[in-house]
Structure 1
Amino acid sequence: MQKKETITSLQQARGQRKLVMITAYDALFASLFEESADMILVGDSLNMSFLGEPDTLSATLDQMIYHTRAVCSGAPKSFVICDMPFGSTNTLDEALRNSVKVFQQTRADAVKIEGGIERAELVRHLCDNAIAVMGHVGLLPQSVRSEGGYKVQGRDEASFAQVIEDAKAIEAAGAFALVVEGVTSDLGAAVTEAVDIPVIGIGAGNATDGQVLVWSDMLGFFEAFKPRFVKRYLNGAELVKEAAAQYAKEVRDGLFPNDEHTYGK
């Protein structure tokens, strides 16, 4: 029986084994990922994958709680992290109230908070009140509109230094681990070297302590575009279309259902 990861085991993995994190939004896919993933992230990317939105900002707290409950049900032996959506952590009181709501209404093991130095006090406030926090620095999807798009960080000295300082601040505030997204490989390595907590990369090179991918990207279901950092391990969209076309043909040709798929007396 698979042993569930804990904050202690995840932190002890640093330098010993690479950590695997995959997003999931429902019980079915969570159950399929449970054997392979050390952590499952219920990402606010769900509204891009499921609702067809251009960014993550439309996800609500109630949506995140609903999907986190589903993932926890489907993968009870997985360490599950709930993304705190845009607008749910604007103040210390609001962040604590909403994080407590996540913990009370789901079996999530932690929440994820985007931001660097400017969010350190908030992260500390949550950690001081028994909320486990995973940080998120580098490219911040929730800031895509204010930043004018998705911009890789670390290509100039100022952003390179800023992301490192952000990572240090979030670690000092009590985060047990950190996601670093959309940075040069040199910066991904520098962030990993600068902190003592596990660093999970997405578009951050291979020197981090682990990797995370959005499941619909990883399995080739999302066709609109493919970021440079994504590797498709399955042509999911093509396989589903082929299966749906075969089903439709058999129905129209009167071949399905046949005797094998029909109840007798």
Structure 2
Amino acid sequence: MDIPQLEAFLSVCKIRNFTRAAEYLHISQSAVTARIKALELSVGKPLFLRDNRNVSLTQAGIHFLPYAERMLLLFEESKVTLSEGLENYIVMSGPGSVWHYYYLQHIVSFRQAHPKVAIKFLSYIDSSYMIRDLLLDGVVQVAIRYDPLDRPNVTKHFLFEDEIILVSSQNSSNLFTKTDFFSGQYCHIEWGYPFPDWFRSIVGEGYLPTFETDHSTIMLTLLLQGAGFGFLPRSIAKPFLDDHRLYELRCELPFPVTRAYALYLTDNRDHPSVKLAMQLLDVPLASTGDSTH
């Protein structure tokens, strides 16, 4: 198994057509076919089902896909770490809202202080993938997560806590209940643990919002434009609450509080990339505080 075979496999997975995958890779269709056949021989099972019109993954292909993505990502990351002119390279993962609203100034200051350190931030939807694969594989040096991972080889440091509150551009003294969340005015976003369980305790299982986004900036913009009401961390909403562009609403249950943690592999505690990443977050590694192993 080699890198060109993985690239051919992932291209066919994405495009679901051998001819167009070949065009994407700027090689012949026969070369794509040969690479896929060689890969299938290497793993010992067929990865694709083919007919005249469609290409689909076999069960083996479905199971192999995340491993192929990880292997190719590890290869790409290894090339970056060998780049000339850089003193170090750090990769961090976490929700986009964390980088944008909590650590943006930290990032700016860190880059000014460390111009020869390359930084990559990964904003994710599937946090379990980022933790299970990229952190444990060593691709990500430090991951931020709301529900801390309890593994013997992972160290976690408490970063901050924030209350998730219900807000709108229209002030209201009403007590918002389950019925309100089924209305067309509610805009949903799945904030971190324990918000999903807390919200489910109000609306029940099988709930489907009329509008949902996974992007905090989109949610904030919609609420500021009067598109309805929804949940935001208090720290994000505060400047808009202060100037009365947003108003805090009342809910039938006390609002949940999220706690964010920075996680890294315990064995990598003294690695320069981990030290730099924690420095960016302004968390001293020598601190015991709320950190656990």
Shorter-chain TM range is under 0.3
| Greater relative CO (CA pairs within 8 A, separation 6+) | 2
TM-score (norm 1): 0.22
Answer with 1 or 2: which has the greater Rg.
2
Bigger fraction of residues in strand: 2
